[in-house]
């Protein structure tokens, strides 16, 4: 039994459905099913150790420490712990951006 109860918020649920629909349409329904089967344990396991997630750096930069993140590559799960409850607020694909510095620019 989990020490914390995990809830997928309406926004988190919408994110997951949109990811599923996108993958099913643009790749395959089998891969979309695979995503659901594998990402769900990533956020339900937060009920055991919700503190294992780190603070999103963009929120730390502005002094916010109420939210945590966990990766399920290439997705980022943003959640908040309140009392004995974990609320999954956002599930989003991480798109890496790199800035290249050219010596002649």
Q: What is the pLDDT of residues 2-18, one digit of tens each?
A: 699 999 999 999 999 99
- Cα separation, 29 vs 100, in Å, equals 37
Whether residue 102 is contained in a domain is answered as no
Between 26 and 99, name the one with better pLDDT. 26
Report, as an integer, the average pLDDT of 22-41: 95
Measure Cα distances from 100 to 13, 74, 88, 96 in Å: 36, 22, 34, 13
pLDDT band at 56 (very low <50, low <70, confident <90, very high): very high
Cβ atoms 77, 68 nearer than 8 A: no
Place of tokens 């963009």: 58
Q: Is residue 105 part of a domain?
A: no
31 domain residue, yes or no: yes
Q: Which domain holds residue 59?
A: 5-97
Q: How many CA atoms lie within 13 A of 1 on its CB side?
A: 2
Report the mean per-residue pLDDT for the chain.
89
The pLDDT-based confidence of 95 (bands split at 50, 70, 90) is confident
How many domains in the chain? 1
Mean pLDDT computed over 86-101: 77
């Amino acid at each position: 039994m989990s020490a914390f109860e995990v809830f997928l918020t309406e926004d988190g649920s919408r994110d997951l459905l949109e990811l599923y629909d996108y993958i099913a349409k643009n790749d395959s329904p089998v891969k979309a099913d695979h995503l659901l089967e594998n990402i769900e344990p990533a956020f339900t396991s937060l009920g055991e150790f919700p503190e294992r997630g780190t603070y999103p750096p963009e929120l730390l930069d502005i002094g916010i420490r109420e939210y945590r993140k966990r990766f399920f590559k290439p997705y980022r799960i943003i959640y908040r712990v309140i009392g004995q409850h974990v609320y999954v607020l956002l599930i989003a694909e991480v798109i890496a951006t790199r800035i290249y510095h050219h010596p002649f620019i």
